[in-house]
């Protein structure tokens, strides 16, 4: 008998059913794509009824967002007391978690699904991307407060540039350069505009590692 937990409505929820629904969603997403998959097909593949899915999710977009996110680790925002130290940990974590076959596949799923379906893009932004950006912005705002980057630095644009360069390196750029090294080069270039120099130059902090 599968383990049960209570849903917000008080009904018992099966962890086995939760996992089966998410896996069925991922399987069908890879096989037929977002537009061609249906709640009926997901329910059939998972071995559950449609009502079981609708008790958990209000829409296909929400279900697909949760299924994709189940492949990703939570983003932990460090607070070392130094901008340089925080960014070093973030880049190391990103390289470890995302720069893998599964990490690249997950990112490709997010990009392809969001680009073809505005409803999914909005749900994924609200539930996941926006929260990650807000967490990352705290690192930059703390750096502003400590005077490590310019007080008028455009935090939102910085995050766009860092995220965009990471996605480009992982999905589109044919290179043997490690993602970690590429991201440090990206940050070094950004810091010439938002900080006082390159990574560790004149700061006494971490230097660039190749």
Provide the pLDDT confidence category of residue 107 given band limits of 50, 70 and 90: confident
Provide the pLDDT confidence category of residue 3 given band limits of 50, 70 and 90: very low
pLDDT at 123 over 50: yes
Domains, the chain, with CATH or none: 4-69 (1.10.10.60), 83-194 (1.10.357.10)
151 DSSP 8-state letter: T
Instruction: Specify the pLDDT at position 179.
Output: 83
Instruction: Specify the pLDDT at position 120.
Output: 92
CA distance 158 to 20: 38
Provide the pLDDT confidence category of residue 206 given band limits of 50, 70 and 90: very low
Provide the pLDDT confidence category of residue 204 given band limits of 50, 70 and 90: very low
The per-residue DSSP string of 50-62 comes to HHHHHTT-SSHHH
What values do phi and psi take at 31, rounded to 5?
-85, -45
CB of 158 within 8 A of CB of 164? no
Terminal-to-terminal C-alpha distance of the chain: 52
CA distance 17 to 197: 52
Instruction: Specify the pLDDT at position 68.
Output: 87
Which residue carries 């290179």 as its tokens? 175
Residues 6+ positions from 97 with CB-CB distance below 8 Å: 72, 73, 103
CA distance 129 to 123: 9
pLDDT tens for each residue of 49-102 = 999 999 999 999 999 999 988 877 777 788 999 988 888 888 888 777 777 777
Q: How far is CA 135 from CA 123, 128, 141, in A?
A: 18, 11, 10
CA distance 80 to 60: 40
Instruction: Specify the pLDDT at position 44.
Output: 94
pLDDT tens for each residue of 13-33 = 678 889 999 999 999 988 888
pLDDT tens for each residue of 129-169 = 988 898 889 999 999 999 988 888 889 998 998 888 888 88
Instruction: Specify the pLDDT at position 209.
Output: 36
Tokens read off for 95: 């390289």
For residues 180-194, average pLDDT: 80
Instruction: Specify the pLDDT at position 93.
Output: 80
Instruction: Specify the pLDDT at position 74.
Output: 72
CB of 53 within 8 A of CB of 42? yes
Q: Is the pTM of this model over 0.85?
A: no
CA distance 165 to 172: 10
Which residue carries 């996992």 as its tokens? 19
Which residue carries 């901008």 as its tokens? 83
């Amino acid at each position: 008998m599968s383990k049960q937990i209570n849903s917000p409505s008080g009904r018992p929820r099966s962890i086995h059913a939760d996992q089966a629904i998410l896996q069925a969603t991922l399987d069908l997403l890879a096989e037929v794509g977002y537009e061609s998959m249906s709640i009926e097909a997901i329910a059939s593949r998972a071995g559950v009824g449609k009502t079981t899915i609708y008790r958990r999710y209000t829409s296909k977009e929400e279900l697909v967002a949760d299924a994709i996110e189940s492949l990703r680790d939570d983003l932990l925002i460090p607070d070392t007391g130094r901008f340089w130290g925080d960014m070093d940990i973030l880049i190391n974590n990103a390289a470890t978690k995302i720069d893998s076959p599964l990490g690249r596949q997950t990112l490709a799923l997010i990009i392809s699904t969001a680009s073809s379906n505005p409803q999914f893009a909005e749900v994924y932004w609200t539930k996941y991307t926006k929260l990650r950006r807000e967490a990352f912005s705290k690192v930059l705002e703390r750096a502003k407060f400590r005077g490590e980057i310019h007080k008028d630095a455009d935090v939102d644009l910085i995050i766009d540039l860092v995220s965009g360069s990471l996605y480009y390196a992982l999905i589109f750029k044919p290179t043997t350069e490690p993602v970690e090294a590429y991201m440090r080069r990206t940050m070094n270039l950004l810091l010439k505009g938002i900080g006082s120099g390159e990574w560790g130059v004149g700061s006494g902090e971490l230097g660039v590692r190749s």
